A and B are shown apart, each in its own frame.
Chain A
Amino acid sequence: MKQDYFSANNIKYIDYKDIEILKKFMNPNGKIMSHKRTGVTAKNQRQLTRAIKHARFLGLLPFVVK
C-alpha cells in the first residue's frame, strides 16, 4: 500500500502556495486526483483539496487544462 506523501515528508499543514507539491496530485486535465490514486490519508486529502481550490482561486493553478 502506498504511503501518505505528507506524513512521509513531515508536512503538517498543506499550503496553497506550494504549487509544485499540489501539482503532483492533479491529473493532466487539472482535476484533483482521488484518494485512491494519491494514497493520502482522509484528513490530508481534505487539506489537499482545500489547498488546491484556494490556489485555483488566486490563479496559481488552473481549473481546467485543455
Chain B
Amino acid sequence: MQDVGDGAKNNNLLGIDEQGPKVYELGYLLVPTISDENLPVVYGNLKELVLSFGGEIVSDEIPKMIPLAYFMQKVTSNVRNKFNKAYFGWTKFTMNSLKILELKKHLDLDANFIRFLILKTVKENTIAVKRFMRGESYKRPILKRSTENENIMPINKEEIDKEIDALVSI
C-alpha cells in the first residue's frame, strides 16, 4: 500500500496525473523525401499508432508540403540531412497521460519525422482565421439584400404593367 502511495506521489512530482484521458495535439513535420503515394500510408500508420495506445482521434489534418521558415537538420544513420520544406500535419486526440510518454518514445525513434510537438489542448476547434473570414463575408450580403428589398417595395404594379405594355407595343 505504501509503495502505491509513494508511486502516486512521484507521479505528481513529475507532473503526471493518473486521472482520465486528456486532449492532446500532435503537430509534426515529415521528411519531404516521402513520395505522394507513400504519404497516406505514413499518415495512416500514425493514426493507427495513436489508436494502439488507447487514443481516440478528435480531429486531424492531412500532412501538406510547406516551406519551412528556416533550415532544419536531422541526423539519420550518421548522415546529416538539411531540409527547407516538409510535410506539416497535426492530429488532435484524447489519451491517458501515462500512455502519452510511451507514444513520445515511439515517435522519437521514427525516421519519417523531422520534428514533432505534443501539446495539451481543448476539444473545440481552435483555429480562428477561417471563422472570421466567414463571419465578415456572410454579414455584408445580408445587409445589401435588405436595402434592395426596401427599394423594391414602394413600386406600383400598375406602373410596371404600363411600362411592359409600352415596351411590347414598340
Q: Name A residues whose Cβ lies closer than 8 Å to a Cβ of B.
A: 9, 11, 13-18, 20-21, 54, 56-63
For chain B, the count of residues having a C-beta within 8 Å of the partner chain is: 21
Are A21's CB and B72's CB within 8 A? no
| Chain A residues in 8 Å Cβ range of B124 | 13
Are A9's CB and B132's CB within 8 A? yes
The 4 closest A-B pairs by CB, nearest first: A59-B68, A62-B69, A15-B126, A13-B126
Residue of A nearest to B83 (CB): A59
Binary flags per residue of B23-67, CB closer than 8 Å to A gives 1, else 0: 000010100000000000000000000000000000000000010
**Does residue B97 face the partner (Cβ distance < 8 Å to A)?**
no
Are A58's CB and B129's CB within 8 A? no
Q: Chain A contact residues: over half helix, strand or loop, or mixed?
A: loop
The smallest C-beta distance from A64 to any residue of chain B, in angstroms, reads 8
- Contact A58:B88 (CB < 8 A) given known A16-B27, A17-B27, A63-B70: yes
Residue of B nearest to A30 (CB): B69
| Chain B residues in 8 Å Cβ range of A59 | 29, 66, 68-70, 72, 86, 88, 115
Partner of B129, one of A20, A60, A62: A20
Q: Name B residues whose Cβ lies closer than 8 Å to a Cβ of A.
A: 27, 29, 66, 68-70, 72, 86, 88, 90, 115, 117, 119, 121-122, 124, 126-129, 132
Are B122's CB and A60's CB within 8 A? no
CA distance in complex: A25, B69 (Å) = 17
